[in-house]
Amino acid sequence: MNVVDRAGAIDIMLTFEQLTKTRGDHQILTDITFEARPGRVTGFLGPNGAGKSSTLRILLGLDRPTSGSALVDGKRFATLREPLRSIGAVLDGSGAHRSRTGRAHLRWVARSAGLSNDRVEEMLELVGIAEAGNKRVSTYSLGMGRRLGLAAALLADPAALVLDEPVNGLDPEGIRWIRQFLRDQAEAGRTVLLSSHLLGELAETVDDVVIIREGRIVANGTLDEVTGTHRNLEDAFFSLTAEKSTR
């Protein structure tokens, strides 16, 4: 499963194999199967309630599947020896306590991973919030909070990034920055998996597309393959998700 690039770093594949999740009588996910590969940005699309967040939570060990698997480099998240070095994730904002400064939050995360404060300063610079590092997170704008979350996710130099709605609520400048940031991460060899409902923006960012509807995969392929004969990704998405349930 490991692929070593020219720099000697390990690339990581994220694999979902017949992932199923039920809660009581409710079927949340059914046979979810797809891959997110190194050096590519994979967009995970679906209407609200389609199962995107449930899928990502299972991948990150925050929930358990009823059957099937969600694997990081062929392993369950809970069994990874150094999880922060394998995968960085931002599922809900920055994850920082609002009374802390951005710098203090990153130093706390760094200590948990055995990293130096120098790495904290590198990440603050990378995401463009070094000047705000000593401000309390409660004073951060939504965009600054997103950048802080990305800095924390990247602290241990993970081979994969998983982001849930990374541009939600951002202004055009913030969206443009995130887009280029994600492309840069993929070009550096990282595996990037992101969920989003902003279809036009996603089409400017992704290489591969997975569309989920009512807990089932309805499309999986490159951007061109999924778009197919449709004018754009938005048309393809609505055509695929507007169909009646197969249940």
Return the domain boundaries, the chain.
3-241
What local confidence, expressed as pLDDT, does residue 133 receive?
A: 96
Q: How far apart are CA 32 and CA 54, in angstroms?
A: 11
Taking the chain, what is the end-to-end CA distance rounded to the nearest angstrom? 35
pLDDT tens for each residue of 15-33: 999 999 999 999 999 999 9
CATH topology assigned to domain 3-241: Rossmann fold (3.40.50)
Q: How far apart are CA 30 and CA 71, in angstroms?
A: 17
pLDDT tens for each residue of 151-172: 999 999 999 999 988 887 778 8
What local confidence, expressed as pLDDT, does residue 7 receive?
A: 42
At 207, the pLDDT band (50, 70, 90 cuts) reads very high
Q: Specify the residue for token string 């081979």.
A: 159
Q: How far apart are CA 53 and CA 165, in angstroms?
A: 10
Please give the average per-residue pLDDT across 221-238, as a whole number: 94
* Half-sphere exposure (Cβ direction) of 3: Cα atoms closer than 13 Å: 14
What local confidence, expressed as pLDDT, does residue 9 receive?
A: 52
Q: What is the dihedral of CA 102, 43, 9, 113, to 10 degrees?
A: 30
Q: How far apart are CA 119 and CA 133, in angstroms?
A: 13
What local confidence, expressed as pLDDT, does residue 93 receive?
A: 61
